[in-house]
Amino acid sequence: MAIHSQFRLLGQRRFLPFYLTQFSGAFNDNLYKNALLLLIAYQTTGLLGLSVNTVVNLAAFLFILPFFLFSGMAGQVADRYEKAAIIRKVKLAEIGIMTLAALALWSGWYEALLVLLFLMGVQSTFFGPVKYAILPQVLADDELVGGNGLVSMGTFVAILLGTIAAGLLMGLEAAAPIIAVSVLTLSVLGYLAARKVPATGAPGAGQAVRFRPLHETRQLIRIAAERKPVLWAILAISWFWFLGAAYLTQFPNFAHSNLRGDETVVTLLLSMFIVGISAGSMMCERITRHRITLAPVPWGAIGLSLLGIDLFFAVPASPEATTWWTLLSNPVYLRVLLDLVGIGVCGGLFIVPLYAFIQHETPQHKRARIIAALNVINALFMVASALAGMVVLGALDTDIPGFFLLLSLVNGLVLIAVWRIRRRV
């Protein structure tokens, strides 16, 4: 392994404790959220007098709502106070939330679990700006792309493992108590890792912290728009989250309706997509040669469009019943799988250089607020993705491969935008 490989960061205290902290947090978020959704779907007939479908959508809304309400305050806090201390306090709050969640899971108090899901969203909102704003303070410029690649890879792998773990644990007889112990244990392990994160200093000691949700959200957007290339980079990242959310949301129905697959096919599609993103994220450091450059971004955008178009043509018109092994062994279905892996790889090439660019090009005393603005816009784009899916698949009666094709064509406009960003910087 080369001496300058990004993986050497995993052996250094300035990076490893933070990496373990964010990995455990992403894993725990997804274990808890997906376990709750499965509990609602399979072990209840609805909550609060609402149907199961309504409660599931309410749960998704409650988790994302804090990003709109508290991102302004979270960005101010991260710019105002020492970031390692914030990480420890956020992880300590997670222990408190998960202690209550464990009690609610054990007793079957599902209404309380919805409230706690909202609080987990609040905790994630305050961790988000610190997560990316701390990297330029602990990494050199020639390490920034590699460090972001590791964080991106770790986040998506944690999402995958948390989702799979929730499904596996829900198949056990004592699912709720085991999940209760698991989420509490993970929160404690995350806090122990956070205690090892080195102090970084408090560069924005004069930054006031105010709780004015709508006003501060508008202020975040204004700050992010001060430099047009940074704003365009934020919008490009948010577009990828729009695209990624669309793919991930449709995988279950795509596997069932278009591939005639069982549950293992859904897991395989999700796994390969995330493996692709992780691989693409890891490739960025070598491709950029440790430099902060947007050179891979247009090529990632081209791949997202071309492979998305090929996916449309790869889906068989009259599929046979499939399992995970069918997708791996039958060339017709293997093409679908390889397209999804390729889309993931191109996604990693697309977003990692953009994250590094934003971190490098923003003033240190405003960086966390700009990351908070990115989180708000990401959340807006993911909500828009869900609405787009409802309109295209519902009102317009388009099938899922057709929806993927439409996304790939629209991505062509994004390609033009990112090419212009690259030429301006």
| pLDDT reported for residue 354 | 94
Cβ(371)–Cβ(221) under 8 Å?
no
For 315-328, the pLDDT digits (tens) are 998 888 888 898 99
| pLDDT reported for residue 69 | 86
| pLDDT reported for residue 315 | 93
Looking at residue 139, the DSSP 8-state letter turns out to be S
The type of residue at 277 is: I
Sign of the CA dihedral 13, 18, 20, 21?
A: positive
| Token pair recorded at residue 176 | 């709720």
Residue 357 CB contacts under 8 Å (≥ 6 apart), including other chains: 229, 230, 233, 292, 294, 425
**Reduced to 3 states, what is the DSSP secondary structure of residue 50?**
coil
Residues 119, 125: Cα–Cα separation, whole Å: 10
Residues 81, 78: Cα–Cα separation, whole Å: 6
Cβ(146)–Cβ(285) under 8 Å?
yes
| pLDDT reported for residue 423 | 63
Residues 2, 8: Cα–Cα separation, whole Å: 9
Cβ(315)–Cβ(339) under 8 Å?
no
Instruction: Give one DSSP letter per residue of 290-332, joined into a string.
Output: T----THHHHHHHHHHHHHHHHHHHS-SSPPPB-HHHHHH-HH
Q: Which residues in the chain land under pLDDT 50?
A: 1-2
Q: What is the separation, in whole angstroms, between the first and last Cα of the chain? A: 32
Residues 2, 249: Cα–Cα separation, whole Å: 38
Looking at residue 11, the DSSP 8-state letter turns out to be G
Residues 154, 129: Cα–Cα separation, whole Å: 17
Q: Which of 192, 37, 183, 45 is nearest to 103 (CA)?
A: 183
Burial class of residue 89, CB neighbours in 10 A (0-12, 13-18, 19+)? middle
| Token pair recorded at residue 231 | 């704003």
The whole-model pTM stands at: 0.87
| pLDDT reported for residue 95 | 96
Sort residue 46 into left (φ over 0), alpha (ψ -120 to 50) or beta. Answer: left
Buried b (16+ CB within 10 A) or exposed e, 208-237: eeeeeeeebbebbeebbeebebbbbbbbbb
Residues 306, 308: Cα–Cα separation, whole Å: 5
Instruction: Give one DSSP letter per residue of 170-184, joined into a string.
Output: HTSTTHHHHHHHHHH
| pLDDT reported for residue 51 | 66
Residues 64, 52: Cα–Cα separation, whole Å: 19
For 368-424, the pLDDT digits (tens) are 889 989 989 998 998 898 888 888 888 888 899 999 999 999 998 888 878 777 665
Looking at residue 198, the DSSP 8-state letter turns out to be P
Residues 85, 214: Cα–Cα separation, whole Å: 27
**Reduced to 3 states, what is the DSSP secondary structure of residue 112?**
helix
